[in-house]
């Protein structure tokens, strides 16, 4: 006989939204009561109530949910031997499908507690939503009627609740941490795990992120960065955060560049900001600091230049700006940005060595590395040496797979190796030849089209043993070293440098768009730009470079986009938190400390200052906001006509599928017709959410 429902509620989530259900159950008054009565487990069911035909609208939505359930006793750093105490999850809860989890009461406790997270997997559209319901009963076979349950209490937290908890102690100095998301991503859901790990550090921190850039990441780094900066200023001016005296920035993927522009914008338009608030940590996770054009084939360069990924793609493709005929990323590495970066106590880049089909190693690690260094891969339970080097023989990853989003991007952005790494070898005592360096880099595997297509259907997931047994997890840190400007090789005084100078002179004289286009496609100019950007970032500054070897999908695993589905990135987040938060700063060396009046590079940054003008950016942002969402990927000055890009196409398909879903729902059976008391989730306006 079906068991009566003890709790039921219905909810809906849009892009970047999530719900957390904390279930408290106190059925026993005493241990004697527990011994005299056989324990009875509870069952929780999360059902995606979207019509089954919506499964076909994968790219238009997708109308998919991520769900996990874990007991209060579970700890990622401790072994979990009992199956009943182990977490369970479903990374692809499709429309019409249900997720079941047993809430075991196999041992006596005064109160049992479980946490259930439900996260939206929508990527491209902020107008559609996925509906679901939550039911709790004493059996997996649940009936349609409910009964009161005085011993059961369910606390519901939405996205805003989760990001406003825990409440910091505002009577003490606060450390503000700003998280920034990447392309076609969001900070509210995709960086939640990182937020909670930073919150758990022994420091009075408040972790925030700007939600307003979701579904707008194609509008350009200037647009995104200026909005993040204005959000930060609004936070510190709020009376609640008036005690903030330190600030850190952590960005994933494109977020690394966005936060770089944000700090330059803050210094240019709010000079008091970094005088009042001390910059502490500047951290990037798999960020394309040098762009993404050099190791991509010609058709990808053409697509980026044409605006397939909007203004953002053009900037990542090192397209020249209207000011000074230089790429934005080159301007961004100099002038005001350089001066502000030098003031941070710690600057760290995390880079994927393998299994990242989105951001190559050379751009996420700022190009210059000790490629001569040799070490064997570190096994489970072993510690990596402080001076560990990049291994020569990296394993062939024949089962490499990536997540759906990464697969799609890596399909359009496959990587090719170039035989030019020897010039980026840092100064070392090794005498290994340049040919050996090339062999080392050529052995780094890259995702193939077949692997990318396979992962669309079968995304890789960590094993139960990995999640429940910390000893089974490999040490993923391959290389952890601080690089200074002195480690960079000197520019050759022979023909190489003269050739570079000749390139630079030609670039300054470019006036015809076809010449600019041709030189970028050939690759020589983009390589020169990469080297120039990397050297700007290293001038008078030290960078800690942490290279990691993660299983696919490494680009999302490195930030742990979903708690268990991307659990391979747990060691990276643990390393990040332990080395940047909750530290005794009196014992931390403050390297590269400088004043804002000190000259930091050979360029005065005048061109960057013009771009950073608040008035100019406000006008540009207003124009971008006025453009319809389905065409903002187009640079209207260059590509005013015709080609409909991915974002515009997917937005139109999303709207079409949404209308189709409404028609199907009208002819189907509504769950609200069931004769039970339904608890509706509190209404939260999207305007408030953003």
Active site residue 253: yes
Q: Which of 446, 517, 448 is nearest to 301 (CA)?
A: 517
Length of the chain: 690
- Spatial contact of 418 and 294, defined as CB atoms under 8 Å apart: yes
Gap between the Cα atoms of 401 and 202, Å rounded: 36
Gap between the Cα atoms of 132 and 236, Å rounded: 37
With b for 16 or more beta-carbon neighbours within 10 A and e for fewer, the 356-373 pattern comes to: bbbbbbbbbbbbbbbbbb
Q: Report residue 563 CA to chain centroid gap.
A: 13
Largest CA distance in the chain: 89
Catalytic residue among 9, 146, 226, 253: 253
- Spatial contact of 573 and 482, defined as CB atoms under 8 Å apart: no
Supply the Cα-derived Rg of the chain in whole angstroms. 26
Instruction: Report cis status (omega within 30 of 0) of the bond before 432.
Output: no
Q: Report residue 444 CA to chain centroid gap.
A: 23
Q: What 3-state DSSP class applies to 78?
A: coil
Gap between the Cα atoms of 317 and 563, Å rounded: 32
User: Any residues with CB less than 8 A from the CB of 516 and at least 6 apart, and which?
Assistant: 320, 510
Gap between the Cα atoms of 390 and 256, Å rounded: 23
Residue 429 tokens read as 């005592």
User: Any residues with CB less than 8 A from the CB of 429 and at least 6 apart, and which?
Assistant: none
- Spatial contact of 194 and 286, defined as CB atoms under 8 Å apart: no
Which residues are catalytic, by number? Answer: 253
């Amino acid at each position: 006989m079906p068991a009566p429902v003890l709790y039921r509620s219905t909810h809906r989530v849009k892009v970047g939204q999530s719900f957390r259900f904390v279930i408290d159950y106190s059925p026993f008054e005493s241990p004697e009561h527990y011994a005299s009565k056989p324990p009875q487990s509870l069952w929780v069911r999360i059902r995606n109530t979207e019509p089954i035909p919506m499964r076909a609208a994968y790219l238009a939505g997708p109308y998919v949910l991520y769900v996990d359930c874990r007991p209060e006793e579970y700890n990622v750093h401790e072994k979990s031997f009992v199956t009943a105490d182990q977490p369970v999850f479903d990374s692809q809860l499709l429309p019409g499908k249900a997720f079941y989890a047993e809430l075991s009461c196999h041992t006596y406790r005064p109160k049992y507690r479980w946490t259930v997270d439900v996260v939206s997997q929508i990527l491209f559209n902020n107008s559609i939503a996925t509906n679901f319901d939550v039911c709790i009963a004493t059996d997996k076979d649940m009936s349609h009627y409910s009964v009161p349950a005085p011993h059961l209490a369910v606390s519901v937290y939405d996205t805003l609740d989760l990001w406003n908890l825990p409440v910091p102690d505002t009577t003490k100095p606060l450390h503000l941490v700003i998280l920034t998301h990447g392309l076609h991503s969001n900070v509210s859901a995709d960086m939640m795990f990182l937020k909670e790990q930073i919150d758990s550090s022994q420091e009075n921190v408040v972790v925030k992120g700007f939600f307003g850039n979701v579904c707008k990441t194609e509008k350009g780094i200037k647009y995104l960065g200026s909005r993040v900066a204005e959000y930060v200023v609004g936070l510190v001016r709020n009376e609640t955060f008036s005690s903030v005296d330190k600030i850190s920035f952590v960005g994933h993927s494109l977020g690394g560049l966005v936060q770089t522009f944000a700090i330059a914008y803050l210094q240019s338009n709010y000079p008091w900001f970094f005088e009042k608030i001390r910059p502490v940590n500047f951290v990037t996770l798999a960020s394309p600091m040098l762009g993404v054009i050099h190791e991509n084939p010609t058709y990808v360069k053409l697509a980026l230049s044409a605006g397939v990924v909007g203004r953002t793609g053009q900037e990542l493709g090192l397209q020249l700006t209207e000011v000074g005929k230089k790429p934005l990323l080159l301007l961004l590495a100099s002038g005001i940005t350089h001066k502000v970066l030098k003031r941070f106590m710690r600057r760290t880049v995390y880079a994927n060595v393998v299994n990242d089909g989105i951001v190559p190693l050379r751009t996420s690690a700022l190009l210059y590395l000790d490629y001569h260094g040799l070490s064997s891969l570190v096994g489970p339970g072993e510690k990596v040496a402080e001076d560990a080097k990049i291994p020569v023989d990296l394993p062939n990853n024949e089962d490499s797979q990536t997540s759906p989003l990464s697969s799609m991007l890596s399909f359009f952005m496959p990587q090719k190796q170039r035989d030019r790494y020897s010039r980026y070898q840092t100064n070392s005592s090794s005498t290994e030849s340049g040919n050996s360096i090339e062999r080392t880099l050529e052995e780094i595997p890259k995702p193939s089209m077949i692997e990318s297509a396979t992962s669309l259907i079968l995304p890789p997931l960590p094993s139960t043993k990995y999640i429940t047994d910390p000893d089974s997890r490999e040490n993923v840190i391959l290389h952890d070293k601080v690089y200074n400007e002195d480690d960079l090789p000197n520019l050759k005084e022979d023909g190489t440098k003269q050739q570079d100078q000749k390139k630079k002179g030609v670039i300054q004289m470019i006036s015809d768009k076809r010449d600019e286009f041709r030189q970028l496609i050939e690759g020589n100019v983009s390589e020169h730009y990469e080297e120039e950007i990397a050297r700007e970032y290293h001038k008078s500054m030290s960078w800690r470079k942490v290279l990691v070897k993660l299983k696919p999908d490494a680009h999302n695993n490195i930030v742990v986009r979903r708690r268990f589905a991307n659990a391979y990135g747990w060691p990276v987040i643990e390393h990040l938190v332990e080395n940047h938060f909750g530290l005794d700063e009196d014992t931390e060396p403050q390297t590269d400390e400088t004043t804002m009046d000190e000259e930091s590079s050979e360029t005065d940054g005048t061109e960057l200052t013009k771009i950073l003008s608040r008035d100019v950016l406000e006008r540009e942002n207003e124009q971008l906001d006025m453009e319809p969402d389905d065409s903002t990927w187009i640079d209207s000055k260059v590509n005013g006509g015709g080609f409909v890009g991915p974002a515009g196409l997917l937005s139109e398909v999303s709207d079409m599928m949404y209308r189709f879903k409404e028609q199907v729902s009208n002819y189907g059976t509504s769950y609200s017709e069931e004769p039970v008391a339904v608890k509706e989730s509190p209404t939260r306006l999207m305007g408030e959410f953003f």
